[in-house]
Amino acid sequence: MLFMALIIIGILVGANIYLAQRFAYFFDLASTLPLYILFPFITIFMIWTVMGLVNSLSSVGHILWMAGAITMGLVLYLLIATIGVDLISLAISIPPATKGWIAIALTVLISGYGLWNATQTKVNEVDITIDGLKEPIRAAHLTDTHLGHFRGGEKLQQIVEMINKEKVDVVFFTGDLLDAAMQLKPEAMQPLQNLNAPVYFIEGNHDEYTGVKAIKEYLKSIGIHVLENEVTHFKELQVVGLT
């Protein structure tokens, strides 16, 4: 654990130094010191908010968490874009300021697309051949809904309606129902009760730190099969659920 922590700290320090030096060069800054202050401040802010305020129930905590989460995405894409621009400039001569603006533009465009794409819900159909299965089973695999600061029960209701339209025989929900304690309430999870098929659920790591006991108790109360290191059957399928 200590070794992993040291590796993560080393990566964060290295990323901060790299970004500070590159943007000081890109925009011909007289001193790198302001960037050596800015990037670590941003890093500390996003780690504190995303990890420390994830289960905050206050409006201020909610706003700060969302700001930190979006900032984390921006910084990650800025790092990737800067590395990409530097690699491309090995083959193509690009003025320093142009490289800086390209990296910033890519960061904004990719982050904007990512935020938009996160609001889109799509159904992907996959055919899986299972030897010996006497009749086809139409199953929905639902996972990582992450109800929390960005999504609430209305999003889950939309997903439920999409699944019901598919007329599935069974639903396998492989965890991470919740992402934050602010949605740890029956009304947020209630849409699952409207599914027109049996539901088998296993917990995810996000459920664990959000309130896994309360989540599983509620799901059981509305007839969802919560599997905790056990095996059951649905028609000819053996269903294994691990915590």
Question: Letter for the amino acid at 163?
Answer: I
Ordered per-residue pLDDT tens for the chain, 243 residues: 888 989 999 999 999 999 999 999 999 999 999 999 999 999 999 999 999 999 999 999 999 999 999 999 999 999 999 999 999 999 999 999 999 999 999 999 999 999 999 889 999 999 999 988 999 999 999 999 999 999 998 999 999 999 999 999 999 999 999 999 999 999 999 999 999 999 999 999 999 999 999 999 999 999 999 999 999 999 999 999 999
* Inter-residue contact 233 to 198 (CB < 8 Å): no
What pLDDT sits at residue 132? 86
How far apart CA 38 and CA 169 sit, in angstroms, is 53
Tens of pLDDT, residue by residue over 137-183, are 999 999 999 999 999 989 999 999 999 999 999 999 999 999 999 99
Give alpha helix (H) positions in 149-241.
153-165, 186-189, 205-221
CB atoms within 10 A of CB 44: 11
What pLDDT sits at residue 105? 98
In terms of Cα–Cα distance, which of 138, 127, 126 is closest to 235?
138
What pLDDT sits at residue 158? 95
Collapsed DSSP state (helix, strand, coil) of residue 140: strand
**18-24, long-range: CB within 8 Å, 24+ apart, which pairs?**
18/79, 18/82, 19/78, 19/79, 19/82, 22/82, 22/86, 22/100, 23/82, 23/100
What pLDDT sits at residue 2? 84
Q: What are the DSSP calls for 41-56, one per residue?
A: HHHHHHHHHHHHSTT-
The encoded tokens of residue 88 equal 């491309």
Residue position matching structure tokens 């609430």 = 152
* Inter-residue contact 159 to 121 (CB < 8 Å): yes
What pLDDT sits at residue 97? 96
What pLDDT sits at residue 5? 86
How far apart CA 204 and CA 225 sit, in angstroms, is 15
Going by the DSSP 8-state scheme, the letter that residue 178 receives in this structure is: B
How far apart CA 83 and CA 78 sit, in angstroms, is 9
What pLDDT sits at residue 202? 97
Query: How would you classify the pairing of strands 230-234 and 225-226?
Result: unpaired
The encoded tokens of residue 206 equal 């996000």
Give alpha helix (H) positions in 27-143.
33-52, 59-88, 96-117
